Chain A
Amino acid sequence: MFGYEFYVDTSRCIGCQACVKACEECDTHRGVSMINFDYLDRPNTIETSAFVCFHCDEPTCAMVCPADAIKKGEDGIVQSSLKPRCIACSNCVLACPFGIPKLVPEYEQMVKCDMCYDRTSVGKKPMCATVCPSQALAYVRSEDIPKLRREKAINEIRFGNEVVKTKVFMMVPQDGEDRISLDAADYMWEGEPNEPGTIIAR
Chain B
Amino acid sequence: MAKPPASIAELTEKYGPHPNYVPIGGWQEQTSNPADHLVKTHCCFCGQQCGIQLKVRENHVIGFEPWEDFPFNKGKLCPKGVKRYLQSNHQDRLLDPLMRTDTGFRKADWDEALDFTVRRLREIQAKHGKDSVAVFGGASLISEKSYLMGKFARVGLGTRHIDYNGRLCMVSAGVAYKLAFHVDRSPIQWEEIARADVIFVIGANIGECYPITTDYIWRAKDRGAKLILADPRMTPISRNADIYMPLRPGTDLVLLMGMLHVVLRDGLEDRDFIAEHTSGFDEVAESVKSYDPRSVGERTGVPPETIERAARLFATAPTGVAMHSRGLEHQSKGVENVLALINLTLATGKIGRPGCGCTMITGQGNGQGGREHGQKCDQLPGQRQLTDPAAREHVARIWGISPDELPQPGYSAQEIMNAIHEGEIKALVCMCFNPVVSLPNADFTREALNKLEFFASIDFFLSETARHADVVLPGSLQEEEEGVVCSGEGRVCHIRKAVDPPGNARPDSEIICDIARRLGKEKYFPYRSTREIFDELREASRGGIADYYGITYEKIDRQMGVFWPCPDLDHPGTPNLFEGGVSFHHDGKCRFVVTEWRESGDPITPEHPIFLTTGRVVSQFLSGAQTRRIGGLVDMYPEPRVEIHPRLAAKHGIADKDWVTVTTKRAAITLRALVVSTIRPDTVFVPYHWPDKKSANMLTHRTIDPRSKIPEFKVSACRIAKAERAPEEEL
Contact = CB atoms under 8 A, between A and B. Distances in A.
Interface residues of B, number: 74
B240 A25 contact: no
A134 to B, nearest CB: 4
B211 interface: yes
A11 to B, nearest CB: 7
B211 A16 contact: yes
Contact of B75 (A48, A130, A189): A130
B677 A148 contact: no
Given A24-B632, A25-B63, A43-B676, A150 B83 contact: no
Contacts of A150: 221-222, 224
Interface stretch (A63-71, A156-164, A177-185): A177-185
A133 B82 CA distance: 12
Contact of A46 (B75, B215, B238, B245): B238
A14 B236 CA distance: 5
Contacts of B303: 187-189
Contact of B83 (A11, A21, A187): A21
Interface string A20-32: 1110110100110
Contact of A25 (B82, B301, B619): B82
Nearest to B238: A46
What bracket does the count of chain A residues touching chain B fall in?
A: 35 or more
A14 B240 CA distance: 10
Nearest to A11: B240
Interface stretch (A54-62, A80-88, A92-100, A194-202): A194-202
B645 interface: yes
A25 B610 CA distance: 43
A38 B238 CA distance: 18
B589 interface: no
Interface in A5-59: 11-18, 20-22, 24-25, 27, 30-31, 42-48
B236 A46 contact: yes
Given A45-B239, A46-B239, A184 B678 contact: yes
Nearest to B235: A46
A3 interface: no
B306 A187 contact: yes
B450 interface: no
B149 interface: no
A12 B239 CA distance: 9
A17 B636 contact: yes
Interface stretch (B430-438, B566-574, B679-687): B679-687
Interface in A107-127: 125, 127
B298 A200 contact: no
B648 to A, nearest CB: 7
Contacts of A183: 677-678
Interface in B651-704: 651, 656, 674-682
Contacts of B245: 187
Contacts of A182: 234, 239, 677-678
A103 interface: no
Contact of B208 (A16, A27, A148, A191): A16
Given A18-B79, A21-B83, A134-B211, A43 B656 contact: yes
Nearest to A127: B66
B213 to A, nearest CB: 8
Contacts of A47: 239
Contacts of B679: 184
A22 B235 contact: no
A31 B76 contact: no
B363 interface: no
Interface in B635-649: 636, 645-648
Given A21-B632, A182-B677, A189 B302 contact: yes
Contacts of B633: 21
B35 to A, nearest CB: 11
B677 A131 contact: no
A185 B677 contact: yes
A73 to B, nearest CB: 22
A16 B618 contact: yes
B723 interface: no
Interface in B289-308: 297-299, 301-304, 306
A172 B232 CA distance: 29
B16 to A, nearest CB: 21
B645 A133 contact: no
Contacts of B235: 46
A90 interface: no
A130 B244 contact: no
A154 interface: no
B31 interface: yes
B21 to A, nearest CB: 8
B234 A133 contact: no
Contacts of A132: 76
B676 A131 contact: no
Nearest to A33: B632
A197 B27 CA distance: 60
A133 B63 contact: no
Interface string B234-275: 111111100011101000000000000000000000000000
B38 interface: no
A184 B221 CA distance: 22
B64 interface: yes
A27 B648 CA distance: 47
A129 to B, nearest CB: 9
A149 B222 CA distance: 6
Instruction: Give the residue among B34, B207, B299 with the most A Cβ atoms within 10 A.
Output: B207
B649 to A, nearest CB: 10
A21 B677 contact: no
Contacts of B66: 127, 130-131
Given A14-B211, A21-B79, A132-B76, A201 B609 contact: yes
B647 A189 contact: no
A15 to B, nearest CB: 5
Contact of B211 (A18, A30, A188): A18
Contact of A18 (B78, B234, B236, B237): B78
Contacts of B63: 25
A12 to B, nearest CB: 6
Given A22-B82, A131-B81, A184-B677, 15 more contacts: A14-B237, A16-B208, A20-B79, A21-B83, A31-B27, A47-B239, A125-B75, A133-B211, A133-B214, A183-B678, A184-B233, A184-B678, A187-B303, A188-B301, A200-B609
18 contacts: A12-B214, A14-B214, A15-B618, A18-B211, A22-B82, A31-B21, A42-B674, A44-B676, A130-B75, A131-B76, A131-B81, A133-B73, A133-B78, A134-B207, A148-B222, A189-B306, A197-B298, A202-B682
Interface of A: 11-18, 20-22, 24-25, 27, 30-31, 42-48, 125, 127, 130-135, 148-150, 180, 182-185, 187-191, 197-198, 200-202
Sorted nearest first, the 3 A-B pairs with minimum C-beta distance are: A14-B207, A30-B27, A189-B303
